[in-house]
Structures are given as structure tokens and as C-alpha cells.
Structure 1
Amino acid sequence: MTTSREDTKSLVICDDAGYTKIGHSKTRQHVAAILANLATLCIGMANAWTAPALPLIQRQTDVILPLYATEEQASWISSLLPIGAVVGALPAGYLADKLGRRRVLLMMALPFFLGWMLIVLAADSVVQVFLGRFVIGVAAGACTVLVPLYNEEIAEDSIRGILGVYFDFIGCLGILFMYVLGACLSYMWFTLVCTGVPLVFFATFFWMPETPTFLLSKHLFLEAEKSLLWLRNGSIVYHGRTQPEIMRLLSRLQETTRTDRPSLLNKTTFKTVAIVLGLMFFHQMDGMNAVVFYAVQIFQDAGSSISPSCCSIIIGTALTLAILVPTFTVDRIGRKPLLLMSSIAASICMAVLAGYFYYKDNDFDVDSWRWVPLASLVTYVSFLSMGFGPLPFFMVAELVPTAAKGRVTAYAIAFNRSITFMLTKMFPFFVHDIGAYITYGFFSGMCMLAAIFVAIWVPETKGKSREEIQLLLRN
């Protein structure tokens, strides 16, 4: 006969074989989330690849490559990634609900690898680079849907925010990694390095479990129990340990199955979708992706006294370090204060940058002010990385009811990437034809509108269970 007792630190199962201790450590949840986010590392590297690559293939440096792209072709090289992301995001939710979050994430390693190989082998073919960027974009779009979904479903409520922030933190690591590679290696070598990261992702994430929520939705109760026990750092299957959480997950699935499919005329559903789309809209319209994609060119235009490559590395470092703030505070301070702080501060930074370019473009002497673009952009990306950079993605997974999560998240990411395409395609023309100061002034205004949106519409989800969040939205 088996007996059990539980204290604040561990559960001890006593049977004929002796005692087996099951700890309450959250380490395995962190490990699974970090390995899932190696796909996000691929996304960050793909986003930042254009910063060191475009000046080389547009002949803006002394390095001569077989590959050459005009300004129009270069804008397509940047913008085909988000177009592919839209294509990848739309079916990702459906596939995740049919095949599982883990399985579809593993499948995305192949298009990441193939896309980079197309670029490596492109020689002088710009069309092949187009195709490679599009294929990488398909994988990036799907992973942008799946990684936050996976992290949210494996997490306990107490660390859901931290695991969610990993998405942007590791993505920023990918951006910094690419900026450093671009400054230190030749075009061929820093592109070739990108082909190896998807292989590392596949080889390590392969050993991680499927989410208990998905397994329960497929009535795979024993597998869900094993997954949950592994994630909660257990070593044997013990029904008494996992049953309360299993029952909560089942109850949540049954409740959302009954209520998640009303039309948008339903007040709660309309409100949830409006908040989700608003977060995705302002996440892009704050201008962060434009800065990441065109960092080197921005500093070239600004006439910075520091080399553009060094400036981009400083930007990438600021992105990565600043994301540590929400990593340790999002479950203490809350989502809403961080969103408000980041959007207001980013608005001020963009206004300062717009002022600098206004004086520069109108032939004022700005030689003594050439530090302003770097200081403004470092402060800008730092504050966005504390709030509007990482928080919208995992808040989508928090806000959307369980049964509708795959579909709504896919639509939200597709919407987000559609805006990314528009901005990355048009950004060079806005800067050169309309004016840099007008472009950055526009971003400043959008950041302030984002703060107003958060203050009025976005609920605080810190420390709330998924049931409490849905009740808050309904009320």
C-alpha cells in the first residue's frame, strides 16, 4: 500500500521500494521555455541580418560582393521576411491545435535551415535571396505564434510572466549576436553561421514535452499527466500529485469550449480581440522593427561620429540588457505600469531624434550634437525592451481563452507581421522622400497613442489565473 505526505518544499511518496522525492522546483519549466525560444533566437537573427548585410550588397562599403541589390531590391529583401511571416502565422494556430505545439515548432527548423541555405548559395542571384528571406519568414511567423503559446501553457501562474519575457529576451540576443557577427565576420561567414542555429534548436528542443493543455484537449490523459509531472520536476507518475492541476486544466478546456466560439458581436469576445489587435498594432507602430532592420543605415544617415557597425552593436546590447528589467519585475510590478512607462519614454526619445534630424536636414551645424542619435536610440530601445517589446506577445496568450488561443493568436501575429511588412518596405522611402524628422516624429506620436490605449483598454493580468483574467474581461 502506498501512502503520501506533502510539505511546503516537496512531496514524498512512500512505497515498498522506499521513498521518492518530487520537488517543487520550477527549473524544468525554465529549461523547456529557453529551448523553445531557440526558435526565437533564429527570428532575432533573421530580423537583424539586413542591418550588416544590406550596406554590403548595396555597395555602400569598400567590400565588393558578387551579389548586388538596388535600393528597391534591398527594401524587398527586408520586407519579404514579414510577408513570409504572415503566410506562416495564419495556419500555425490550426496546425498547433491539430498536431501539437511541440511538433509544429520542431517542423519549423526545416524552413529556417532551407531559407538560410538559399541565401548562402545565392551567389549573384537576388531572386534567390528573396526566396530565402520569404521561407525564413514563414518559419518566423509560425514560431511567433507557437513559442508564446507553448511557454504560456507549460508555466505555473507564478512564473508565467518570466517565461513569457524569454520570447523577447532571446530574440534580442539573436539581434545582438547578428550585429556582432556582422561586424567581425565576412558576409558569407556570418550568413553561414545562421544555418547552424536551427539545427541546434531541433537537436535540443526535441527532448522537451508537449504541453499538458494540448494533450488534455486530445484526451491523452496519461501523457498529459507525465508532461505535467516532468514540468513540475517530478520523477514518477503519481496521480495524487498532478490530479488537482489536471482537473483545473480540464475544467478550463470544458468552459472555453462552451464559450469561445461566439461571433465578434459578443461583448467579451469583441473586447478581447480589440485589446489583442491593439497591442499588436502598437507593438509595430512604435518603430522598433524599423530601427532593428535599418540600424546601420540610420547611423550612416545621422553622420554619427562612431562607426555604424559599432553603433548597431551598442543598440543590440541595450536591447538585450534592458529586457532583463521585465524578466525580474513583470510578475512583481505588473504588465500595465511597464507598458505605460516604456511607451511614454520611447515617445520622448523619438521626439528628440526627430528634432536632431530636423536641424541636420535644414543645414544647421550639428557637429557638436552627433552623439544625440546614438543616445536617443539606445534610450528608446532600452525603454521599449522593458515593456512594449516583450509584453504584448505573451499577454495575447494570457488574454485569449484557451480553446480559441491557437486561432486568435495566429490572426493577431499575421496582423502584426502585415504591419511589419508595410513599415520595413516603406521606411527607406519615408526617410529619404518625406523626411527623417517627419518619420521619427510619426513614431513619437504613435508611442504616445500606445500609452493612451494601454491606460484606457488594457487590463492588468499580474498574478491572476486564467479563469480570473476571463472573468475580468467579462465584467
Structure 2
Amino acid sequence: MGPENNPLQRPTTVLEDSWITSLHSLGAAVCPLFIGPLANKYGRKNTMIIFSLPMLASNIILIFANTVSLFYIARFLIGVGTGCVFSVVPLYVAEISSVENRGFTSLFMSVTISFQQLVVYIIGPYVTIRNLAIISLIPSGLFLLTFGLFVPDSPYYFILVNKKENAINSLTRLRQISKSYAEKEILDVINSVEQSKTKKSPREMFRSKIVLKCFLISSGLMFFQQFTGILAIIPYLQTIFDATNTSIPGEISVMIVGLVQLNTTALTSKIIDIIDRKKLLIASNMGVFLSLVSLGAYFFLLSNGSNVSKLNWLPISSILGYIICFNLGIGPIVWTIAGEIFPSDLKTYLNGLATFTNIMCGFTISMLFPNVSLFLGMAWSVWIFAICTALSIIFIALFVPETRGKTFLDIQVMLREGKIK
């Protein structure tokens, strides 16, 4: 394999593969720790623009990377940018959306990510790493140009910094509504911000039962989202498909999965404001659980020398079922709820901490999965995720509130009163 296809001119080790995969999550974990103060001080928009620069730098490094160290740096930097995306974008989208379509708009990020993954799955096997990095510069440039020049900041941010007129103008532009209607809606924004305002320190904040409850619900959802195994399944899709000995080439199977992922995420955006979030989450986890059990069963039979030639359809069917069910609920809706349940003035801080939980769980899984699968075997590695998914169903049923059709203030009142339906 020449330098065009492999700039390192040698195969990477299992440990190097683990670090290249997981450093993205480690970089992403850095950002949420300080993203809250930045987003409140400089605005949601400026924070997103600032943290798009590490993504830009990452792809520039990959164009010239010829050592493992440079790949480590590039993966870490793109992770830093990703951490900002998952911390601030759900917050920004929730704050600019109306109650009626907040679920729909909250899935724009998930649809975009699914589309990006599909593009990489399609072109990745046929271009060099250098050319893929060059192509990846295009969306970063478009974001800086369009978002930076034409999109206003969140009306909630403007209210937090006492810029009421800017908040009205922001709503007018973003929603395409009249100024008089925007002025009426801003009164709800002001009321929501005032009701939840606090000057408490982080330690004092967590002494508040409502804040602690919101944080535990959000962090619990983040934890269980990752421990369904998504960061073991997605990065190692081709490895998993190659290990099944099916007749379909691994790279083709990955493309099929990417296409299904995009379409199911788009479908979720259509139904999230029609069906209760909680019902979608529970149904999603049930489907993920069954898919993981069947995938683990295939690997168990394969590792024990059973004849699985008549079951070649099972691995791809299980993974497709997994992707469909994950993207119909636990994947995107966790981020929707995270953008909805926190008090307005604490959203940037607490959402950042919940995102940190999500990313560190993802880092742990992506780092350990290759070695755990070698030690325990693929079957038990998959079944561990199935067990976590079953626990997730119990957690959602007992503790997660229904947020569909409710204002931010309604959600806070509901949590304060201990209602979850």
C-alpha cells in the first residue's frame, strides 16, 4: 500500500487504531467544560464560529499528515469542534424555535450529521485520505461564510445580556414574523429567563433539587445513549461486516447503513412533534435491544463453529434494525430533551456538563471496544450493550419527563412538581 492510500506507509496497530478513533471523543470532552461561560459571555453564534476553526485546522493537518502523531492531533482538534457542536447547537436551535416545531428543528443537527456520514461512507473507500480532507474543508468554509454573515444570535442570549431590541430583531429574522408578534413572544422569553435567573455558584446550583434533577435526567440519557454502543458500531462498521463473512463487501454494507441512517433521522424529524418523545425513546430502545441481541447471537454461533451460511442476512439486518431504531429515538431525541429541560440562564453550563458525560462515555467505549472484543469476543461485547439498553428503558420510564408541546417554563414547573408524563 503506497503513500497515496496510507500516508504512514505501514499498517496501524490495534492500539493506534483505538487512539485515532477515541481521540475525537477526548477532544470533544474538553470543550463542554468551559463552553457555558463562553456562550453566555460572547453569544451562542460567536462561540460556534470560534470552535469551527479547530475543525478547519484538523482537515488542513490531515492533508499533510504522514505520522501517527499528526493523525492524533487532527482527531483531537476535530473533536474539540465537535464538542462545541453538541454543547451549543441543541441549545441554540431550542432557543430560536417555536414550541410547535421545536422537536422538528432540534433534529436538523442529527440529519446533517447523518448526511455527512453517508457522504464519507460513499466517497471514503474511493479517495485518498488527503483528498477526503480537502473535500471536508468545503462545509467548514460554507459554515463560516453563511452562518457568520447572515444568521443572528439567539433571542435568549440577547435577553440574558439585556439587549431586548436585538432579541426582537433576532426573532423577526429567524422566524420571518412581524415585529409586533415578536415583541409579544419576547415577553415569554423575558419571563422564562427571569423565573430561572440565579447568581449561585456551581456548588450552590447543585444544591437546588430542580437543577440536580435536570442534570441527572440529562446525564442519564447521555450515558445510556452511548452505552447502546453507537460509537462501537459506527466507527467499526466495516470491521464488523468483514468479520461476519457475508457475501456483501464491507464497504457496500456501510453505504447501505449510512443511507438508512439518513432516512430514519429525517423520518424522526417528521414525527417528533406528533408522537410523545418518551414513547419514541422507549420504542427506540426496545428495537435497539432486540437488534443487539440478534447480532450478538450471530457472533456467538460464528465463534462456536456453527454453520451460519444460512444466516448471512442476520448481521446486516440486525445492524440496519439497530440504526433505524437508534435514529428514531435515543440518538436524536436525547439532544432535543437536553436543550429543553434546563433553566434558561443555566442551560449553557448544565448542557455542557451533560455533553461532557456523553462524550466521555463515548471515549471510553471507542477506546476499549477493540480490546474488549478481542478479550471477550464480539458476541459478549455486543450483549453488554444490550444489557445497558434494557436498563435504559427502565430509566426512561421512571424518570424522563414528556416535553412535547410544552414551553420551557411549563417544563420547569412540571419538573418542580415531580411530574414525568
User: Under TM normalisation by the shorter chain, which class is it?
Assistant: over 0.9
Give how far 1:464 is off: 0.7
User: What whole-Å deviation, never above 9, does each CA across 1:142-170 have from its counterpart, x for those lacking one?
Assistant: 11111111101100100100011112111
Q: Does 1:427 align with 2:359?
A: no
Give how far 1:66 is off: 3.7
Q: Does 1:253 align with 2:193?
A: yes
Q: Does 1:88 align with 2:8?
A: no
* Percent identity over paired residues: 27
Give how far 1:263 is off: 3.8
Secondary structure of 2:293's partner? helix
Give how far 1:234 is off: 4.0
Aligned equivalent of 2:132? 190
Amino acid at match of 1:117: I
Give how far 1:105 is off: 0.8
Give how far 1:245 is off: 1.1
Aligned equivalent of 1:354? 296
CA contact (8 A) 1:109 1:199 kept: no
Q: Does 1:169 align with 2:111?
A: yes
Aligned equivalent of 2:59? 116
Q: Does 1:344 align with 2:286?
A: yes
Give how far 1:255 is off: 1.0
CA contact (8 A) 2:27 2:78 kept: yes
Amino acid at match of 2:183: Q
**TM-score normalised to structure 2 length:** 0.94
- Alignment match of 1:461 (pick from 397, 403, 412): 403
Matches of 1:414 and 1:460, distance apart in 2: 23
Aligned equivalent of 2:331? 389
Q: Does 1:443 align with 2:385?
A: yes
Secondary structure of 2:234's partner? helix
User: What whole-Å deviation, never above 9, does each CA across 1:380-430 have from its counterpart, x for those lacking one?
Assistant: 111110000000112111001101100001111111110111000111111
Cα 1:63/1:184, change in 2 over 3 Å: closer
Matches of 1:425 and 1:67, distance apart in 2: 24
User: What whole-Å deviation, never above 9, does each CA across 1:203-238 have from its counterpart, x for those lacking one?
Assistant: 111110111110111111221111111122147xx4
Secondary structure of 2:398's partner? helix
Aligned equivalent of 2:159? 216
Cα 1:374/1:135, change in 2 over 3 Å: same
RMSD of equivalent CA atoms: 1.8
Matches of 2:98 and 2:286, distance apart in 1: 31
Amino acid at match of 1:76: W
The more displaced of 259-268 and 337-346 is 259-268
1:292-371 equivalence runs, <5 A: 292-371=234-313
Matches of 2:162 and 2:5, distance apart in 1: 58
Amino acid at match of 1:468: D
Cα 1:121/1:447, change in 2 over 3 Å: same
CA contact (8 A) 2:301 2:308 kept: yes
Aligned equivalent of 1:7? none
Count of residue correspondences: 413
CA contact (8 A) 1:260 1:404 kept: no
Q: Does 1:140 align with 2:82?
A: yes
Aligned equivalent of 1:158? 100
CA contact (8 A) 1:183 1:310 kept: no
Aligned equivalent of 1:242? 182
Q: Which runs of 5 or more residues in structure 1 are unaligned?
A: 1-55
Amino acid at match of 1:245: E
- Alignment match of 1:278 (pick from 217, 220, 226): 220
Higher relative contact order (CA 8 A, sep 6+): 2
User: What whole-Å deviation, never above 9, does each CA across 1:58-116 have from its counterpart, x for those lacking one?
Assistant: x9xx9654443211111100000000001122111111011000111111221111011
Matches of 2:348 and 2:189, distance apart in 1: 16
Matches of 2:239 and 2:97, distance apart in 1: 40
CA contact (8 A) 2:211 2:343 kept: no
User: What whole-Å deviation, never above 9, does each CA across 1:168-202 have from its counterpart, x for those lacking one?
Assistant: 11111111111111133233222321122211111
CA contact (8 A) 2:62 2:129 kept: no
Secondary structure of 2:31's partner? helix
Matches of 1:276 and 1:351, distance apart in 2: 26
Matches of 1:64 and 1:126, distance apart in 2: 11
CA contact (8 A) 1:85 1:417 kept: yes
Amino acid at match of 1:343: N
Amino acid at match of 2:289: S
**TM-score normalised to structure 1 length:** 0.84
Aligned equivalent of 2:173? 230
CA contact (8 A) 2:8 2:68 kept: no
CA contact (8 A) 2:62 2:130 kept: no
CA contact (8 A) 1:260 1:401 kept: no
Cα 1:63/1:134, change in 2 over 3 Å: closer
Give how far 1:445 is off: 1.0
Give how far 1:118 is off: 1.0
Matches of 2:408 and 2:115, distance apart in 1: 30
Matches of 1:241 and 1:275, distance apart in 2: 34
User: What whole-Å deviation, never above 9, does each CA across 1:338-383 have from its counterpart, x for those lacking one?
Assistant: 1000101110010001100001001111122122111100011111
